[in-house]
Amino acid sequence: MASSSNPISLLTFFSLLFLFLFTSSSAVPTVEVCQSATSPSFCKSFLPSSPASVHSHCRYTLHHALVQARTFITLVDLQLTLLPSFSALHDCRSLAMANLDFISSTVNTVNTTTNALPFYQADEMISLLSAVITNVDTCHDGLAGSGLGLVDKVVKAISFDRQLYSLYLSLFKMGWVSKTMKAPKLPKTNHFGFGNGPLKLKMSPKDRAYYERLMHGKKPAARRLLQTNNADDGILVNGVVAVDQNGAYDFTTINDAIAAAPNKSTAANGYFLIFVTAGIYMESVVVPKSKKYVLMIGEGNNRTIITGNKNVVDGSTTFNSATVIVEGTGFFGANLTITNTAGAIKHQAVALRVSADMTTFYSCIFEGYQDTLYAHSLRQFYRECDIYGTVDFIFGNAAVVLQNCNIYARLPLSGQFNALTAQGRTDQNQNTGIFIHKCTIKPTPDLAASPTTKSYLGRPWKEFSRTVYMQSFIDAFIDPAGWKEWDGTLNLNTSYYAEFDNSGPGSDTSRRAQWAVGVINATVANIFTVSEILAGDQWLPPTAVPYSGGLIS
């Protein structure tokens, strides 16, 4: 079940809190509060009619959100007794458990202050609540069209919960987030990390001794990324294990190494380093949410290969088809290749799915066809990675920046077109989107040899889809329209598709789709950079990964 907390005592606590809060001297009419909500009609029908402050209304909504999160888990558990093998319901349960955690993580902040929050704290809270809505949407998408009447109760509950969580996010932003929220200014040269040099690792003498034994005789590609360092500017490592298929080191499988990582670690305690030697690992790898701050480094992104072939055609959900699934906060992967070999004929087949906050990938390769990289939720950063795919192959509803990456469109099935992105933002208050900065967008040779195949920068999967290409090279294979409709006029008037300072023959915007936002200026584009949209200056420096916080001059 959801929690060991006593629901009766929790209800009593919130009831007393509610009575206290509604004596606030800053009370305003409910109708006035609801005018700024995402759904004014739901807001007016849900909130008490008595005048109260925004903070009081938000706390009232928080109470009900917690109750609904627990109730939904109980409902899904009941349906699973009737449909134990229905994989979409299992996805819903996992997503619901995450939601209970995320909502609970906001309780202390919402209940202890009425002041506008500092930038980094506000961004974290908005990220969590954005992910709550994404998780509800993902559950709904998995159940939609199943034709199973037994899940009707779950679908109905989802509809209410989604409106409730959206209201909570609306009220939270009204009460705790400054309308002019901006990242604190750092020195202009905020390019952190090791560039072309080695990744600096700070270790205890014991870990260093073991690590250096691992590195003995390794190829330059591995040594370049893995060097110890006594200075204060490297990534702190606390524990080292190695994976080798032949049994030369600690584990023969990646999942066994992940299981050995400590639970609920913190960045201050240091990353748990898993070194994966060269080889082809046919595993469905999962980094669960209990395994935080795991640093997984391969011996080379064409030498350490994790591969699988799960796909929707053969019965998986898109959500669970990934070869590698990351749900643990602070995960950092480098020098890895992650593939899904199901092929274009199997349609949705994910290589990597990330549902974890403050995740980083450096010098990795992701290969698939449809739905290669599922940037599902929360804050994610990809640097100097290669992504290969066909239809919607970078998709999801995370706040994600891809920087200095190579994005390669492949030849799809006959009759298909390529869409590089399909962004899934469903609520205008979510801080999510796909932001492609200083990347190179090119076709693979097989696609280049098929000039009749259409390729687009993206298409609006959901109502408030948001994708921005900035300072990137776009090759000539991209259709002059740039952006492709999803289904007729669906989502065209509410999506946000923009470009800034791109180059290359495919960057000409003179014939772009009329419904797209189009070219934006530097002031607007800066909103979608690492420092602003990811609050990356707070959590990226400890990874030692190079990044540009703002636009590149």
Residue 198 has pLDDT above 80, yes or no: no
The confidence score (pLDDT) of residue 211 equals 85
pTM as predicted: 0.93
List, for residues 24-75, the tens digit of each pLDDT value: 447 888 999 999 899 999 999 999 999 899 999 999 999 999 999 999 999 9
Q: How many CA atoms lie within 13 A of 372 on its CB side?
A: 28
Share of the chain above pLDDT 90, in %: 78
| 391, two tokens | 């239809």
The confidence score (pLDDT) of residue 214 equals 85
Euclidean distance between CA atoms 181 and 120, whole angstroms: 10
Q: How far is CA 201 from the centre of its chain?
A: 26
Residue (of 446, 271, 355, 268) closest to 94 by Cα position: 355
Phi-psi region of 137 (alpha: psi -120 to 50; beta: other; left: phi over 0): alpha
| 132, two tokens | 């709550």
Least confidently predicted of 169-183, 195-209, 328-342: 195-209
Which residues, in sequence order, are bridge partners of residue 235? 201
Least confidently predicted of 120-134, 233-247, 277-291, 484-498: 233-247
Banded model confidence at residue 12, pLDDT cuts 50, 70, 90:
very low
Contact (Cβ atoms closer than 8 angstroms) between residue 473 and residue 440: yes
Banded model confidence at residue 19, pLDDT cuts 50, 70, 90:
very low
Q: Enumerate domains of the chain plus CATH numbers.
A: 30-176 (1.20.140.40), 390-552 (2.160.20.10)
Alpha-carbon distances of 315 from 87, 476, 514, rounded to whole Å: 9, 37, 39
The confidence score (pLDDT) of residue 192 equals 45
Euclidean distance between CA atoms 100 and 103, whole angstroms: 5
Contact (Cβ atoms closer than 8 angstroms) between residue 17 and residue 111: yes
List, for residues 455-472, the tens digit of each pLDDT value: 999 999 999 999 999 999
List, for residues 226-239, the tens digit of each pLDDT value: 565 555 667 899 99
List, for residues 284-310, the tens digit of each pLDDT value: 999 999 999 999 999 988 999 999 999
In the 8-state DSSP scheme, what is residue 460? Answer: E
- What mean pLDDT value characterizes the chain? 90
The confidence score (pLDDT) of residue 224 equals 58
DSSP states along 110-160: HHH--SPPPHHHHHHHHHHHHHHHHHHHHHHHHHTT---GGGHHHHHHHHH
- Give the pLDDT mean for 203-213: 87
- Best-predicted range by mean pLDDT (10-14, 212-216, 264-268, 351-355): 351-355
The confidence score (pLDDT) of residue 180 equals 85
The confidence score (pLDDT) of residue 221 equals 61
Residue 196 has pLDDT above 60, yes or no: no
Residue 106 has pLDDT above 70, yes or no: yes
Euclidean distance between CA atoms 447 and 437, whole angstroms: 23
Residue 256, number of CB atoms within 10 A of its CB: 13
How many helices, marked H, and strands, marked E, lie in the chain? 14, 31
Euclidean distance between CA atoms 374 and 370, whole angstroms: 10
- Best-predicted range by mean pLDDT (132-146, 191-205, 506-520): 506-520
Banded model confidence at residue 220, pLDDT cuts 50, 70, 90:
low
Task: Say which residue the tokens 């701050």 belong to.
Answer: 293
Q: Which active-site residues does the annotation give?
A: 392
Share of the chain above pLDDT 70, in %: 90
DSSP states along 326-353: E-STT-EEES-EEEE-S-GGG-B--SEE
List, for residues 348-406, the tens digit of each pLDDT value: 999 999 999 999 999 999 999 999 999 999 999 999 999 999 999 999 999 999 999 99
Residue 524 has pLDDT above 70, yes or no: yes
The confidence score (pLDDT) of residue 208 equals 86
In angstroms, the first-to-last Cα distance of the chain is 52
Contact (Cβ atoms closer than 8 angstroms) between residue 363 and residue 334: yes
Euclidean distance between CA atoms 119 and 547, whole angstroms: 20
Residue 315 has pLDDT above 50, yes or no: yes
The confidence score (pLDDT) of residue 201 equals 84
List, for residues 149-184, the tens digit of each pLDDT value: 778 889 999 999 999 999 999 999 999 998 888 888
The confidence score (pLDDT) of residue 281 equals 98
Banded model confidence at residue 209, pLDDT cuts 50, 70, 90:
confident
